Amino acid sequence: MSDIRIGAHVDQTDPIAEAAAREAPLVQFFLGDPQGYQGPEVSYAGGAEALRADAAAAGVDLYVHAPYIVNVATTNNRIRIPSRKLLQQHVDAAAAIGAKGLIVHGGHVNKADDPEKGFDNWRKAIEATDLHVPLLIENTAGGDNAMTRYLDRIGRVFDAISGCEQADRVGFCLDTCHAHAGGNDLETVVERVRAITGRIDLVHCNDSRDEFGSGADRHASFGAGRIDPDLLAAVVREAAAPVVCETPGGAAEHRADFAWLRDRL
């Protein structure tokens, strides 16, 4: 499995330098504030065009993570409407830098809401967004009313968007910490996700600081958490997709995580 490409989530200022420091063929980063509605911002010297050109020259694949606050599923208009706007802005910005995909969390509905409203809001969001790059929906760790914590709800999201004209532009990002904390068995999660979505485009490979089913989204470096090391590697091996490590630390820690993972692959 030496052909699996492994990278990390890095600072957005100079993703090319961050990739070089990790000897990584791919990196993921935010474009702007992950907790704000201000819109994307390219911090790279020379702007979006320079980043696109330099990444291509260096052979580095770029992935953009949408802000955490994006929640296109909610019935709250004050959140859903700006979330759709922010999603389109980040799709456009990701396309401008030549990103391979934009990762977005599944969001949630309020406690008193019918989850069906959230699934239909996902349909509306896909219909309203011009997807210049693949949109990779990520499973999340907690929340009883989350759209993508449980596999059956992931299935309902993908059912809802299956009839959209751009359905083939919507993929899936499997996060190992989120799956573990969300109460999804890692032994079968790849097979079951593929049966639901038809694809796994990216893996967020992270150990978990918390127990299975805890609902807590707290990442740990490989071997320092609660996920069985062989099981973590098995998910990556079976998914056979590019990997982003969102583990703690900087370049040295990430290189150590890459080596740990490759030893087990």
Residue ranges of domains in the chain, CATH in brackets: 6-264 (3.20.20.150)
- Model pLDDT, residue 143: 86
The mean pLDDT of 31-55, rounded to a whole number, is 96
Q: What is the mean pLDDT of residues 213-224?
A: 95
pLDDT tens, 75-112? 999 999 999 999 999 999 999 999 999 999 999 999 99
Give the per-residue pLDDT at 144.
81
Can you tell me the mean pLDDT for 112-120?
96
Question: For residue 32, what pLDDT band results from cuts at 50, 70 and 90?
Answer: very high
Q: What is the pLDDT of residue 33?
A: 95
Q: What is the pLDDT of residue 89?
A: 98
Q: Is the pLDDT of residue 132 over 80?
A: yes
pTM above 0.95, yes or no: yes
- What was the pLDDT predicted at 1? 54
Question: Which residue in the block uniquely carries the two structure tokens 């504030």?
Answer: 33
Judge whether residue 2 has pLDDT over 70: no
